[in-house]
Amino acid sequence: MESADIARRFARESLILTEGALSLLLSCPNVEATIERVIGDLRSANVLRGIVDAETVRRLIRPEEKPPEPEPPSPQVGELVHDKFRPVSAEHEGRLEVLKDVTGRSLGKGTAEDFHRIFTSRFEKLSRILRSRPGMEHAVSISSLGRYENERVAVIGMVLEKRRLKGGTVAIELEDSTGSVTVLATKVNRKVLERADHVVPDEVIGVQGKVTKGYGGRLRIFADQIEWPGAPVVRQVRKAEVPAAAALISDLHIGSDKFLEDVFARFVRWLKGGGETEKERELAGMVKYVVIAGDLVDGIGIYPEQYDELLIPDIFRQYETAAKLLADLPDHVTVVISPGNHDAVRMAEPQPAIPKEICPAIYDLQAVMVGNPALVSIEGVHVLVYHGRSFDDLVGMVPGVRREKPTDLMRLMLEKRHLAPVYGGKVLFAPEREDLLVIDDIPDVIHTGHVHIYGCERYKEVLLVNSGTFQERTEYMKKLGVVPTPGKVPIVNLMTHEFTVKEFM
Ligand code: ZN
Ligand code: FE
């Protein structure tokens, strides 16, 4: 019986076999009899239509119907792995699509006009989202405020400046394409004052409040409501249809003498079925994707005195070493690589993918090379990957947020619908035609790194993950007072959105 015949036989029952299921059946010595029995079992289990995968078939085949066990291959040196390890994620092809990425379509020429355009694009995209919020649909333009003296209005604008006045009042200079106005948040309304504390320059916000005439006849708004574009509380999350999980990592810093090679090797061994319990091996077998959110290598000349801590002081050799380490990952695993501030691409964001000329050996591994940020659909689940340089800017600006709690910062990003709202800080912006750092559509997972501190949280049905690092504390981090959490790897089950943290330190 040929595979086409088998597929047809199942199709007659309205059942579709996956490739893995088909090859399992084909391997049975007495195919025809086994098939009829399996179909019978499915029918009595009331499975009347749909996809039949290898896992199901494996459960249904009886021991006496199984093909004779092949001789186990002798394990190679350094490759120990559990002999019964059969990764379930190896049974399907995998489905990955890059939905949004600057790589290969950078259009900016670097003119002042291009810079202006990023802001126009930012304003347009975010004001559109804000306008859909209750109370904001009738937002008026700033130049028309004269008509609304002593009335309550809604306006949408970009924050030019924020300052604290005597008495604790916060004054926000808000601008749209028609003009600018001062928005005041006073102690009278605690909630608004608290919100004003979270406002950062260059972001787009919505304000509601009363228009009054101030000194010199200039109009101002006493805010009773400040709004961010935000994210809906309830949303249809996208889920994988086949068993697959993604291990989210970042900040390997290969080339640094603080790169923890043995910890990384332990992670790889675990992926190959080296886990101690059946449950561990099952989880490892689900992992079909390893996503790297930047700082694959340590780079050269990134911070003062970095040279003293470099084991490999050559950027090409750093990537060659990286390629060797990544080549060790199991064959059924797809690696997605997005750059960070230590990688060899332009520093300005959005960063394009690390180019082939710098790391040909990684391209040879068929890794999926994307920019920073990048929106990738993995088995249908939308994962937004961003290195996280903007954390450095937000940390100093919003009270209460700390590097130690990266998911707090990620929540701000999601509410502000922007990965790097502040301009003129640590993040450099590349002049593009469009602001690609706006979070246009809500992803299912946001994956960042950069602070070398692990954090994971579900917020408004979005999984916020800041992956840990594979680098020990550097001298630079000591100066910053940062205590990293190396060796922690969050693993997201793409079918259920559950996450697990594995520790390899
Ligand atoms: Zn890093
Ligand atoms: Fe970084």
Give CA–CA dist 435/392, Å, rounded.
Answer: 20
Q: Are 208 and 407 in contact (CB under 8 A)?
A: no
Structure tokens at 42: 């499915």
Ligand nearest to the CA of 392: 2
| Ligand 2 mean position, distance from CA 437 (Å) | 17
Task: Quote the pLDDT of residue 78.
Answer: 44
Task: Quote the pLDDT of residue 77.
Answer: 44
Nearest to 345 by CA among 393, 277, 273, 296: 296
**Residue ranges in the chain whose pLDDT is less than 70:** 70-83
| Ligand 2 mean position, distance from CA 391 (Å) | 10
| Ligand 1 mean position, distance from CA 253 (Å) | 7
Ligand nearest to the CA of 453: 1
Residue 278: burial class (beta carbons within 10 Å; 0-12, 13-18, 19+)? exposed
Q: Strands 381-385 and 445-448: what pairing?
A: parallel
| Ligand 1 mean position, distance from CA 296 (Å) | 8
Three-state secondary structure call for residue 342: coil
| Ligand 2 mean position, distance from CA 394 (Å) | 15
| Ligand 2 mean position, distance from CA 293 (Å) | 9
Ligand nearest to the CA of 390: 2
Give CA–CA dist 90/108, Å, rounded.
Answer: 41
Ligand nearest to the CA of 469: 1
| Ligand 2 mean position, distance from CA 250 (Å) | 9
| Ligand 2 mean position, distance from CA 452 (Å) | 8
Structure tokens at 318: 């750093």
| Ligand 2 mean position, distance from CA 139 (Å) | 39
Omega prior to 75 cis, within 30 of 0:
no
Task: Quote the pLDDT of residue 162.
Answer: 96
Ligand nearest to the CA of 484: 1
Around ion ligand 2, residues with a beta carbon closer than 5 Å are 295, 340-341, 450
| Ligand 2 mean position, distance from CA 224 (Å) | 39
| Ligand 1 mean position, distance from CA 252 (Å) | 7
Mind giving me the DSSP string for 382-423? Answer: EEEE---TTHHHHHTTSTT--TT-HHHHHHHHHHHTBS---S
| Ligand 1 mean position, distance from CA 270 (Å) | 23
Task: Quote the pLDDT of residue 81.
Answer: 55
Three-state SS across 430-455? CCCCCCCCECCCCCCEEEECCCCCCE
| Ligand 2 mean position, distance from CA 346 (Å) | 14
| Ligand 1 mean position, distance from CA 251 (Å) | 4
| Ligand 1 mean position, distance from CA 290 (Å) | 17
Q: Number of H helices and number of E strands within the chain?
A: 13, 19
| Ligand 2 mean position, distance from CA 358 (Å) | 19
| Ligand 1 mean position, distance from CA 268 (Å) | 20
| Ligand 1 mean position, distance from CA 411 (Å) | 20
Structure tokens at 9: 């036989």
Task: Quote the pLDDT of residue 71.
Answer: 60
| Ligand 2 mean position, distance from CA 428 (Å) | 14
User: Letter for the amino acid at 477?
Assistant: M
| Ligand 1 mean position, distance from CA 51 (Å) | 42
| Ligand 2 mean position, distance from CA 399 (Å) | 22
Task: Quote the pLDDT of residue 372.
Answer: 98
| Ligand 2 mean position, distance from CA 99 (Å) | 23
| Ligand 2 mean position, distance from CA 343 (Å) | 9
Q: Are 283 and 500 in contact (CB under 8 A)?
A: yes
| Ligand 1 mean position, distance from CA 248 (Å) | 14
Ligand nearest to the CA of 298: 1
pTM here is 0.83
| Ligand 2 mean position, distance from CA 469 (Å) | 10
